[in-house]
C-alpha cells in the first residue's frame, strides 16, 4: 500500500475518510493501489515484506480521497499517534481476532472461505445465514495478538446473504464488494487494536488477510 501523510488543524470526515487525529497536526491515510484481491492469491504472510508500526502508533486504511486545504508531508514508515499503556483484556490465543465488549473478548467466527468461480468471476462463501459472533456496536473494535498474522493486511467486507449462506463478490467488476475502512493501532509489541473507521449498518461482515482464504466473521445487530 502507498501511504500519504496529510497535515490538518482538526479532524475531518470527507467521503468516508479517517476521522481521528493521529498526532499534533498530522494523520495517516492509506489507500490500495489496485482493486482489493483478498482471498484470491496464495497467502504471502510468512516472510512477506511488511511496514513496521512502532509501539503506540496507528495506521489507517481505506481508499484515499482528495481533500482541500491540506498540506502533504512525506515521511517514512507508518504513522502515527502515541497511545497510553494498554491495560485492557488480552487475547487468549494468537492470530485470532476478538470483538472487544468492555472488558470482555468475544471470539469472531474463524474459518476458511470457499471459492466459487474462476479468475475474474470469483465469489467466496461461508455456510449459514448468520455468524455465531455478534455485536451491537456499529463501529466494532477488535484485538489481535499477532505472531504470523499481519494486522496491516486485514480487510473488511460486508457479506450478502443469499440462499441461506453468506457470500462476497471480489471479482472487481460492477457490483463487486468494496473494502471498508479500518484503523490499526499498535498497543505494544505484537498487540494490536483493529477497528472499523466508519459506521456500519446491521448485517453480516468478514475480516480477512489480503491474499488468504482465512476469514473472521461477525454480525452487527
pLDDT at 141: 97
CB 164 within 8 A of CB 125: no
**Cell numbers given for 128:** 449459514
Cβ neighbours for 160, distance < 8 A, ≥ 6 positions apart: 166, 167, 168, 169
Interstrand relation of 141-145 and 134-135 (parallel, antiparallel or unpaired):
unpaired
- 123 or 192: which carries more pLDDT confidence? 192
Q: Is the pTM here over 0.85, yes or no?
A: no
**Cell numbers given for 7:** 497535515
Please state, in angstroms and as integers, the Cα–Cα distance from residue 164 to each residue in 66, 127, 194, 203, following that order: 40, 7, 29, 14
Average pLDDT over residues 173-190: 92
At 127, give phi and psi (nearest 5°): -70, 150
Average pLDDT over residues 196-212: 96
- 53 or 135: which carries more pLDDT confidence? 135
Name the pLDDT band for 71 (thresholds 50, 70, 90).
very low
**In the predicted structure, residue 125 carries a pLDDT above the cut 90:** yes
- Average pLDDT of the chain, as a whole number: 74
Cβ neighbours for 35, distance < 8 A, ≥ 6 positions apart: 172, 176
CB 39 within 8 A of CB 126: no
Cβ neighbours for 65, distance < 8 A, ≥ 6 positions apart: 14, 15, 16, 17
**In the predicted structure, residue 26 carries a pLDDT above the cut 90:** no
- Pick from 16-25, 48-57, 78-87 the range whose average pLDDT is largest: 78-87
Q: What is the DSSP letter of 206?
A: E
**In the predicted structure, residue 59 carries a pLDDT above the cut 60:** no
pLDDT at 122: 83
pLDDT at 203: 97
Amino acid at each position: 500500500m502507498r501511504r500519504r501523510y496529510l497535515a490538518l488543524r482538526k479532524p475531518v470526515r470527507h467521503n468516508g475518510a479517517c476521522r481521528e487525529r493521529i498526532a499534533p497536526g498530522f494523520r495517516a491515510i492509506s489507500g490500495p493501489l489496485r482493486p482489493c484481491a483478498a482471498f484470491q492469491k496464495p497467502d504471502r504472510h510468512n516472510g512477506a515484506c511488511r511496514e513496521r508500526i512502532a509501539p503506540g502508533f496507528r495506521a489507517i486504511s481505506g481508499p484515499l480521497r482528495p481533500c482541500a486545504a491540506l498540506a502533504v508531508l512525506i515521511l517514512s514508515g507508518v504513522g502515527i499517534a502515541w497511545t497510553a499503556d494498554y491495560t485492557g483484556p488480552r487475547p487468549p490465543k494468537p492470530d485470532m481476532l476478538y470483538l472487544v465488549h468492555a472488558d470482555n473478548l468475544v471470539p469472531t467466527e474463524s474459518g476458511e472461505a470457499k471459492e466459487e468461480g474462476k479468475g475474474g468471476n470469483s465469489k467466496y462463501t461461508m455456510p449459514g445465514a448468520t455468524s455465531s459472533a455478534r455485536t451491537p456496536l456499529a463501529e466494532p473494535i477488535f484485538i489481535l495478538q499477532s505472531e504470523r498474522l499481519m494486522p496491516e493486511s486485514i480487510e473488511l467486507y460486508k457479506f450478502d446473504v443469499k440462499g441461506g449462506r453468506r457470500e462476497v463478490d471480489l471479482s472487481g467488476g460492477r457490483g463487486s464488494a468494496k473494502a471498508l475502512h479500518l484503523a490499526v493501532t499498535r498497543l505494544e509489541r505484537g498487540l494490536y487494536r483493529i477497528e472499523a473507521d466508519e459506521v456500519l449498518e446491521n448485517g453480516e461482515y468478514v475480516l480477512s488477510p489480503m491474499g488468504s482464504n482465512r476469514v473472521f466473521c461477525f454480525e452487527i445487530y
